[in-house]
Amino acid sequence: MKNRLLYILALILFMQSISAKADNGHRLWLKYDRITNVNNYKQYRYLLQQLVFRAGADVTSVAAKNELQRGLAGLLDLSPVENNQFVAGRTLIIGTPESNPLLHTKLVTDLLVQSGTEGFIIKATQLSGKNCIIIAANTGNGVLYGVFNFLRLLQTNQDISQLNITDSPRINYRILDHWDNLERTVERGYAGFSIWNWHKLPGYVDPLYVDYARADASVGINGVVLNNVNANPLIITKEYLVKVAALANTFRPYGIKVYLSVRFSSPVEIGGLKTADPLDGQVQKWWKDKADEIYSYIPDFGGFLVKANSEGQPGPQTYGRSHADGANLLADALAPHKGIVMWRAFVYDNKVPDDRAKQAYNEFKPLDGKFKSNVIVQVKNGPVDFQPREPFHPLFGAMPGTPLMLEFQITQEYLGFSTHLVYLASLFKECLDADTYAKGKGSTVAKVIDGSLEGHKLSGIAGVGNIGTDANWCGHPFAQANWFAFGRLAWNPELTSDAIADDWLRMTFSNDESFVSPIKQMMLDSRENSVNYMTPLGLHHIMGTNTHYGPAPWVDNAGRPDWNPVYYHKADSAGVGFDRTGTGSNAVAQYAPQVRDEFEDLKTCPTKYLLWFHHVKWNYTMSSGNSLWNEMVQHYYTGAASVKTMQQTWGKMNGKVDAEQFEEVKQLLAIQEQEARWWRDACVQYFQTFSRLPIPAGYEKPEHPLDYYRQLQFHYVPGIKGYN
């Protein structure tokens, strides 16, 4: 009996140890596990013999101190001691010149001149003849960002003996947009319910919110829009403002401001007015009073995000007014409090027969220079809607008198939800690096949005988040990389996809080069793989209507023409593609002449945008020598086959990463491989009904006939409430 009890006890302890070691991904890239590389561990321990930290009075400096202590305790088993004296050996000195007397030197203050309120320096140097490493900034926010940067160096096993880093963000407003509804559903969310538990707030503040804020701050995100752009007006009532204030108080130590999406018709729906006309005096007073009320609860409230006169949302055009009139109404209300208005340019009207890709430009270009100084117009990366691939939006570079804010989608609405491994840094970079030629060569989208091209002080970038209540936050372990990549590129758009993936893998999984190298390449290839099996050669918006799940290029009965996939591919017996040249919708004319000419000419148009801008004959000879039909088939089959390669690559990682996460990714890749073949077989057979050409020899036959795919139905697909 005694032996049996000992056996059970040993089994329990063993299972507990296994459970403790299991990694469900909840810690994201902030794991701070003990450094396993012996040489690096010894070097860091030698160089970081003593921490000298004198926290400022602000809560952010205290958060920075706590993060540093957490990181060093986990990575190096160090228990830092707070004091302001030098000790033997190299010392780590943290703080601002005001909070830490050791940093009040000409060397430090000179280095911080260009750092602003969020920049920092990390430098191996000497102070008073003593060796030290300093992390210094002008403010607590800068110190916090410097600490996270320093910990990243340790996590990725970098040499810290000769550090000389000076860094500051290129973009002022780096914001994560949550499309979360008050009942906790998440529009286009694929990782569970909203993490905001409105029912329990403000009485119970979930510790999860602190971990969320830490993750945002670690990549430089400094603002959060808490609710869906299809806004419920209740969010700005007292009932919810006290809840918003509780979140704001939680985020404040991490340099994060809260923003709210507001419904333009709120004065009518919750204010008792008969109109929401932006030129009506009562409406103007209502919004000013509402802004005053909001700031009484949240003194550092960031401002409003607005979706108006788009997809059924109310707006100023309801009253015969312009988008500028609507934005300026809210800007005047926020101005005394230094708040901003982010006014979305995602607008299109089924009563306007023009190409949907042209409509935002047509509405906003004439309003250039008519917005108040605290308004920033938020523009999606492409002219249609977060497709797997789009050319950059023509508004970038076309509104020199107006600050523009770039909007990316981190959640994978059109990219297989959270069951497909798609690393989006390459998509983000494709847009950021695109040359608008607004002021000649080198006028990139990044320079438009960071304000440097036109000298705007207001600059911003937004990402629609992929965060939910799933244990790993994002539904797919690798979907975390897209949250990470957005934040890093928001801070510095010049970073490469490769460097960001390298950091994320090392921080999240392992520094083992035999793991990092092949998996990084898999990540870098993944977006192109998904484009190939979904929408190659410039095809777009051929997903299932409403759900945006799976292929449905045949749909032609949606509620309006531009909700139908057939509207976008225009396949017929002659060819396929949307003619946006001068002989078609002439959308190319919205770009600068250099860009227009490249896209206009069938011979110079990049292959990746070919069917976006041209209706091309099925037998057209591509640069590869293939006919268009054979090229399309090749892309679809190559894309599907590439997922098998991803499976094989991941299969070799068994034993190199946590077993729980390995198995999760393995199963998700199996889903992705199955769905990639679904996309391939459905699309190739559908377009074959127009081309009437055979699938070239050597390719396997589709698993099912076309009718099988056309009759598939899906119920309760996540994230489909409304449109964005």
Q: What tens digit of pLDDT does each residue of 132-172 get? A: 999 999 999 999 999 999 999 999 999 999 999 999 999 99
- Position 118: which residue type? E
Q: What are 93's two structure tokens?
A: 């000195």
Return the percentage of the chain with pLDDT > 70, whole number: 95
Distance CA 439, CA 379 (A): 19
Sort 583 into a burial class: Cβ within 10 Å, 0-12 / 13-18 / 19+: exposed
Q: What is the pTM assigned to this prediction?
A: 0.95
CATH architecture, range 25-167 = 2-Layer Sandwich (3.30)
Q: Which residue in 23, 277, 363, 385 is the catalytic one? A: 385
User: For 173-508, which CATH class?
Assistant: alpha beta
311 part of the active site = yes
Residue span(s) of the chain under CATH 3.30.379.10 come to 25-167
Distance CA 480, CA 473 (A): 8
413 part of the active site = yes
User: In the prediction, which pLDDT does 724 show?
Assistant: 53
| Secondary structure of residue 71 in the 3-state scheme | helix
Q: Which residue has the tokens 């990746």?
A: 608
Q: Give the model confidence (pLDDT) of 288-347 as tens digits.
A: 999 999 999 999 999 999 999 999 999 999 999 999 999 999 999 999 999 999 999 999
Distance CA 559, CA 212 (A): 39
- The CATH number of the structural domain formed by 532-578+615-710 is 3.90.1330.10
Average pLDDT over residues 216-242: 98
Distance CA 565, CA 539 (A): 10
Residue span(s) of the chain under CATH 3.20.20.80 come to 173-508
Distance CA 188, CA 463 (A): 13
Q: Which residues pair with 135 in a beta bridge?
A: 94, 122
Q: What are 296's two structure tokens?
A: 């009484």
Residue span(s) of the chain under CATH 3.90.1330.10 come to 532-578+615-710
Closest CA to 304 of 407, 229, 395, 403: 229
Residue 89 has pLDDT above 90, yes or no: no
Count CB atoms within 10 A of the CB of residue 160.
Answer: 19
Q: What are 712's two structure tokens?
A: 């598939």
| Secondary structure of residue 186 in the 3-state scheme | strand
Q: Which residue in 98, 206, 269, 311 is the catalytic one? A: 311
Q: Which residue in 413, 503, 660, 681 is the catalytic one? A: 413
Q: Give the model confidence (pLDDT) of 567-606 as tens digits.
A: 999 999 999 999 999 999 999 999 999 999 999 999 999 9
Distance of CA 75 to the CA centre of its chain: 28
Q: What are 444's two structure tokens?
A: 């990139």
470 part of the active site = no
Please state whether 548 falls in left (phi above 0), alpha (psi between -120 and 50) or beta.
left
Q: DSSP strand E in 458-562: where?
A: 460-464
- DSSP letters along 676-714, please? HHHHHHHHHHHHHHHH--PPPTTSPPPSS-HHHHHT---
